[in-house]
Amino acid sequence: MSTFVLLTLTGFGLGALYFLIASGLALIFGLMDVLNFAHGAFLTVSAYAAWHTATTVGGVNGLILAVLTGAAVGTVLAVIVERLLIRRLYGRPKEQILVTVGLSLTIPALVQAYWGPDSRPFPVPSALSGTVPVLGANVPVNRFVLIVAAVLVLIGVRLFLDRTRYGLIVRAGVEDRHMVTALGIDVTRAFTLIFALGGALAGLAGVLGGLYFGSLSPHQGTALLIFAFVVVIIGGMHSITGVALSALTVGLVQQYANYYVAGGFGDFAVVILLAVVVLARPTPGRRSPASLLRDLLAPRRAVATTGGQP
């Protein structure tokens, strides 16, 4: 029982981390139709800036300043990329992909050149380095920190999109940008705000990722971005709540598979989950396997109930 509780709460913590990364990715793609492969690079730079701050200051105060620093660095980097590059490429998805993929390769390489290729331990305050007993299991405190952060981000993003003027402007601008612009509303500024918010979430995820794993490396953001894309695809591009549930599912599946099946099998289990969801999800012009199966079985059932008479 204690093992199951530990795996479950650890899966919640890992799912919370995936959600923090995927939420910014889903915002930028779902609202702006920009597939930002540089999102992991934002995470990496923010994580190293936060690591430097936490190492310099130390303690809980150092971690708080590291969170603020990471979010600020992610925001600034996202705004710079949006204003200098992405703004010129709206409506041109191929060029967007090429540019963001280039950034995803270049930025981690620059980080590695400056800080070196080796992993660095992330300074964890003593208050967050212990465990908490839960139903016989000793669960690391940082798991609960990630879960609380993910819940607060989910609530904040939902309120932003549903209750604020800029959230409404962005949603309307995605549907009909020319109409919104004709009303005298600056859609470009709203799009920059969304990109900045996505960068801030990437920065926050970078800091909490260092807290979760206890270390950071130049390519950590790129590795985590793969799982963030899986989460967004499973949860849906336009539903932040769906992304949260998807992240929770992926985190749990990964933890359970690694323990109950074999170490390292969790990644493969996530790929299987992705394939099942993609194949089962109906798309325009294609029927779901479940509906096809019902239609295939329906004639047989009809024949069986009528005794084989036409």
Question: What is the mean pLDDT of the segment spanning 12-38?
Answer: 85
What pLDDT, on the 0 to 100 scale, is given for residue 148? 93
Residue 293 reports pLDDT greater than 50: no
CA separation for the pair 293, 299 (Å, rounded): 11
Helix (H, G, I), strand (E, B) or coil at 236: coil
Question: Average pLDDT of the chain?
Answer: 82
Q: Where are the beta strands (DSSP E) in the chain?
A: 120-121, 131-134, 137-140, 215-216
Question: What is the mean pLDDT of the segment spanning 194-203?
Answer: 90
State pTM to two decimals: 0.84
Q: Which of residues 208 and 172 earns the better pLDDT score?
A: 208
The least confident of 116-125, 141-150, 242-251, 284-293 is: 284-293
Helix (H, G, I), strand (E, B) or coil at 309: coil
Residue 259 reports pLDDT greater than 90: no
Residue 307 reports pLDDT greater than 70: no
Question: What is the mean pLDDT of the segment spanning 157-173?
Answer: 75
Question: What is the mean pLDDT of the segment spanning 179-200?
Answer: 76
Q: How confident is the model at residue 191 (pLDDT cuts 50, 70, 90)?
A: confident
What pLDDT, on the 0 to 100 scale, is given for residue 32? 72
Question: What is the mean pLDDT of the segment spanning 23-52?
Answer: 86
| Residue range 230-250, pLDDT digits in tens | 998 888 777 788 889 999 999
What pLDDT, on the 0 to 100 scale, is given for residue 292? 43
CA separation for the pair 221, 8 (Å, rounded): 24
What pLDDT, on the 0 to 100 scale, is given for residue 303? 40
CA separation for the pair 120, 112 (Å, rounded): 12
Which residue in this structure is represented by tokens 């981690």? 108
191 Cβ partners below 8 Å, 6+ apart?
32, 82, 87, 90, 170, 173
| Residue range 59-116, pLDDT digits in tens | 888 889 999 999 999 999 999 998 888 888 877 888 888 999 999 999 999 999 988 8
CA distances from 225 to 4, 75, 205, 231 (A): 27, 17, 11, 10
